[in-house]
């Protein structure tokens, strides 16, 4: 995507009317012979790993894979899209959910900031939510889970996509900024860019500076998709278009911005998971 095309998408997203819609009900659990799950991790702190096998044998290089966060809700959407739109494509779907207690705030965030002076647009985490575990969660994915998935299934390590919505989108961005070659594609839907008063934007600027200092381009190149519900709020910390602008100037990073003006934060999960599948399969 060239810069002119990118800016035209930004303008279209800002100009389109935002229509409020009720949140969609969570997708039902998938019950199918090719859908399964297993517990992963230490006792008392386990994740539920959802697995959706395709109805085709693996190609010589192995299956491609999409890994989604908040698997209990995202995995059914991805399964439904794949079965309806690409039933014969050799892509495995994986979702990371939870066994027992839901620890998503811990897994998906950095330590919550406690400012000593007022910060514009600051928003605190809920008092009963543990935060600050994203580095350990990312290390678990990279060092433990992905090798385990490769042990269980023939996978192509060069053809992986990660998808996250809301706090999951925030985590996807952090994974991009810290381990850009762990995945070939990064999809963040309505990422919680308000976290810690715009921490993701500061990370993006540091990432761009690091790439420039290391030679000017990410090599091999990667793709980043940012989806947004409703009308873009230019300049507001909830608005991810500032990140789109920063990343569009980083060599080797193809940025795709997907505004969905008729969706709200909750309903965005349906079309954004379809966007993620399209990006994974067709680009």
pLDDT digits (tens, 9 = 90+) for 141-185: 999 999 999 999 999 999 999 999 999 999 999 999 999 999 999
Structure tokens at 266: 């909750």
What is the predicted pLDDT for the residue at 271? 97
In a domain, 231, yes or no: yes
- Say how many Å lie between the first and final Cα of the chain, rounded: 11
For the chain, the domain total comes to 1
Which residues fall within 8 angstroms of residue 121, CB to CB, at 6 or more apart? 194, 197, 198, 236, 237
| String of DSSP letters for the chain | --HHHHHHHHHHHHHSPP---PPPPPPPPP--TTEEEEEESSTTS-EEEEEE--SSPPPTT-EEEEEEESHHHHHHHHHHHHHHH-TTS-EEEEEEEESSS--HHHHH--PPP--SS--TT--PPPTT-----HHHHHHHIIIIIHHHHHHHS-EEEEEEEEEEETHHHHHHHHHHHH-TTS-SEEEEES--TTTTTTHHHHHHHHHHHHHHHTTSEEEEEEEEEEEEESS--TTSTT-THHHHHHHHTSEEEEEEEEEETT--TTTTHHHHHHHHHHHHHH-
Across the strands, what pairs with 97? 48
> Averaged over 66-84, what is the pLDDT?
97
Averaged pLDDT of the chain: 87
In a domain, 25, yes or no: no
In a domain, 151, yes or no: yes
In a domain, 148, yes or no: yes
Higher pLDDT, 7 or 256: 256
Distance CA 256, CA 60 (A): 30
What is the predicted pLDDT for the residue at 114? 66
Higher pLDDT, 109 or 215: 109
Q: Does position 233 have pLDDT exceeding 70, yes or no?
A: no
Q: Does position 258 have pLDDT exceeding 60, yes or no?
A: yes
The pLDDT confidence band at residue 124, using thresholds 50, 70 and 90, is: low
Please give the model's pTM, rounded to 2 decimal places: 0.87
What is the predicted pLDDT for the residue at 102? 82
In a domain, 170, yes or no: yes
Q: Does position 5 have pLDDT exceeding 80, yes or no?
A: no
Distance CA 170, CA 223 (A): 16
What is the predicted pLDDT for the residue at 14? 37
The pLDDT confidence band at residue 128, using thresholds 50, 70 and 90, is: low
> Averaged over 249-263, what is the pLDDT?
96
> Averaged over 57-81, what is the pLDDT?
97
In a domain, 27, yes or no: no
State the CATH number of the domain containing residue 174. Answer: 3.40.50.1820
Cβ pair 176, 142 in contact under 8 A: no
Q: What range defines the domain where residue 107 resides?
A: 3-19+34-113+123-282
In a domain, 28, yes or no: no
In a domain, 251, yes or no: yes
């Amino acid at each position: 995507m060239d810069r002119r095309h990118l800016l035209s998408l930004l303008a279209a997203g800002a100009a389109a009317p935002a229509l409020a819609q009720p949140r969609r009900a969570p997708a039902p659990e998938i019950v199918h012979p090719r859908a399964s799950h297993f517990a992963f991790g230490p006792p008392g702190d386990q994740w539920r790993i959802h697995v959706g096998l395709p109805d085709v044998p693996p190609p010589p290089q192995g299956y491609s894979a999409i890994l989604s966060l908040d698997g209990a809700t995202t995995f059914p959407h991805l399964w439904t899209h794949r079965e309806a739109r690409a039933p014969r494509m050799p892509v495995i779907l994986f979702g990371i959910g939870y066994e027992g207690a839901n620890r998503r705030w811990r897994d998906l965030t950095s330590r919550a900031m406690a400012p000593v002076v007022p910060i514009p647009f600051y928003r605190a985490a809920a008092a009963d939510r543990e935060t600050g575990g994203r580095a350990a969660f990312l290390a678990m994915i990279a060092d433990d889970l992905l090798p385990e998935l490769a042990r269980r299934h023939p996978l192509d390590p060069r053809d992986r996509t990660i998808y996250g919505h809301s706090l999951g989108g925030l985590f996807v961005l952090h994974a991009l900024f810290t381990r850009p070659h762990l995945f070939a594609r990064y999809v963040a839907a309505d990422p919680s860019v308000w976290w810690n008063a715009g921490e993701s934007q500061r990370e993006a600027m540091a990432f761009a500076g690091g790439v420039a200092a290391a030679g000017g381009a990410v090599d091999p190149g990667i793709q980043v998709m940012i989806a947004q519900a409703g009308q873009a709020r230019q300049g507001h910390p909830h608005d991810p278009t500032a990140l789109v602008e920063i990343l569009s100037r980083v060599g080797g990073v193809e940025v795709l911005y997907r505004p969905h003006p008729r969706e709200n934060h909750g309903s965005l999960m349906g079309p954004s998971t379809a966007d993620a599948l399209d990006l994974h399969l067709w680009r």
